[in-house]
Amino acid sequence: MELKELESAIEGILFAAGDPVPTERICLALEQDRETVDSVCQRLADAYSYERRGIRLVRLEHSWQMCSAPEYASGIRRALESRKPPKLSQPALEALAIVAYFQPVTRAYIEQVRGVDSSYTVGLLLDRGLICEAGRLNVPGRPVQFRTTSAFLRCFGLASLDDLPELPASTQEGVQMTMELESAIGRLQQQEQMEPEGQEEEPSAEGHEEPPAQAPEEESEPDGEGAEP
């Protein structure tokens, strides 16, 4: 398959899909190796950007997706009469940052770091499709773990999680915040590693009442006056 033909084929696949398409799937469909497919996709992405086209080709970890150019978002929104989604609140951004940097994490992790209940915030991020469930932690209660999604990468313009900026540590306040964050995560990990064995062996105190301790019976000592020699 010639280069121009391969470009057209990949372009058609990505346009028809709409959603991110794994590179491996494109390789199987066109009978090409991964290096060739990635090279052609990057060539198309560079061409769209250089020519200032109304579409873009973005890489999302191990997938590629065709989308509209961000600079024309307002015109596209008006044409399609779609509302701009409300911005994320500060609590939601905080919770999302914790998931992004320390994933997979449980809701207890998020609440421990933020210091407040995060049930609503986690639910909001799930509804937005920015995070998703990533299995359960192997500890008593088996809490659900969360990780970020490809929608998160797309919304923040990231090709992969490796593109996340460094945690703030350039100022004294930033250093303190980073240390507290890492310390909180470390404490939770230690607690979860220590809890399983102890909780399985020791019965729960709830619903099981131990019988009251009985005082030992006092043995009567023989009376010295009546004792026979």
**For the chain, what percentages of helix, strand and coil (3-state, to nearest 5) are there?**
55, 10, 35
Residues 91, 121 contacting (CB under 8 angstroms): yes
Q: What are the strands, taking DSSP E only, across the chain? A: 21-22, 55-60, 63-68, 105-106, 131-136, 144-148
Residues 145, 106 contacting (CB under 8 angstroms): yes
Shared domain for 9 and 58, answered yes or no, is yes
Domain count, the chain: 2
Q: What is the C-alpha to C-alpha distance for residues 184 and 73, in angstroms, rounded to an integer? A: 40
Shared domain for 69 and 98, answered yes or no, is no
- What's 72's DSSP letter? G
Tokens read off for 1: 């398959």
Assigned domain for 215 exists: no
Shared domain for 64 and 147, answered yes or no, is no
Shared domain for 98 and 193, answered yes or no, is yes
Assigned domain for 213 exists: no
Strand partners, 66: 57
Which pTM value belongs to this model? 0.49
Q: Considering only CA atoms, which of 119, 25, 7, 35 is closest in space to residue 63? A: 25
Residues 195, 140 contacting (CB under 8 angstroms): yes
Shared domain for 103 and 169, answered yes or no, is yes
What is the C-alpha R_g of the chain?
Answer: 30
Shared domain for 141 and 169, answered yes or no, is yes
Shared domain for 159 and 184, answered yes or no, is yes
Shared domain for 180 and 127, answered yes or no, is yes
Shared domain for 96 and 75, answered yes or no, is no
**Sign of the CA dihedral with 22 first, then 24, 25, and 29 last:** positive
Tell me the CATH number at 33.
1.10.10.10
pLDDT (tens place) for every residue of the chain, 229 residues total: 788 888 899 999 998 888 889 999 999 988 889 899 999 999 999 999 888 888 899 888 889 999 888 888 888 877 877 566 678 888 899 999 999 999 899 998 898 888 888 888 999 999 988 999 998 888 888 889 999 998 898 888 787 888 888 876 544 555 566 666 666 666 666 665 665 544 444 444 444 444 444 544 444 444 444 444 3
Assigned domain for 10 exists: yes
First to last CA, the chain: 118
Q: Is the peptide bond before 104 cis (omega within 30 degrees of 0)?
A: yes
Shared domain for 105 and 172, answered yes or no, is yes
Shared domain for 101 and 76, answered yes or no, is no
Shared domain for 55 and 135, answered yes or no, is no
For residue 27, give its domain range. Answer: 3-80
